[in-house]
Amino acid sequence: MTLRTVGTALVVGLFVLAPLTALAKIGGGDVEYKPKGAGKVVFAHDYHVNLKGQKCSNCHYKTFQMKGGDAAYKMDMSMLTKGQFCGSCHNGQKGFDLKAADNCKRCHKD
């Protein structure tokens, strides 16, 4: 194998493998919500997607649009307890039940 062949193989390998390694970890970063009268909530994409094995399409675009931050969603606990937004999974069947008082601290931080 010539040096040119090895160099070409390395360049081609970088173009092929680089996108695949980018796809290996999907996230989107944390999204922070600051509800009135309650501790902030930080939604961790890495936890839900990489550790829990959820697909982006499980939530986007059905439950959440691809927008971030407080301005994107006007939600409150009454909406969540009726199965909207986070409540669509956190219902005691798919995820922990957000209606249980002892689970508040799982999302709301001081």
User: In this predicted structure, what is the pLDDT of residue 5?
Assistant: 59
Using CA atoms, how far apart are residues 56 and 48, in angstroms rounded to an integer? 9
Model-level pTM greater than 0.85? no
Over residues 45-88, the pLDDT tens digits come to 888 888 777 888 888 888 887 665 544 668 899 999 999 999 99
Please state, in angstroms and rounded to a whole number, the distance separating the CA atoms of residues 67 and 64: 8
Rounded to whole angstroms, the Cα distance separating 107 from 34 reads: 11
Of the candidates 62, 2, 60, the residue with the CA atom closest to the CA atom of residue 31: 60
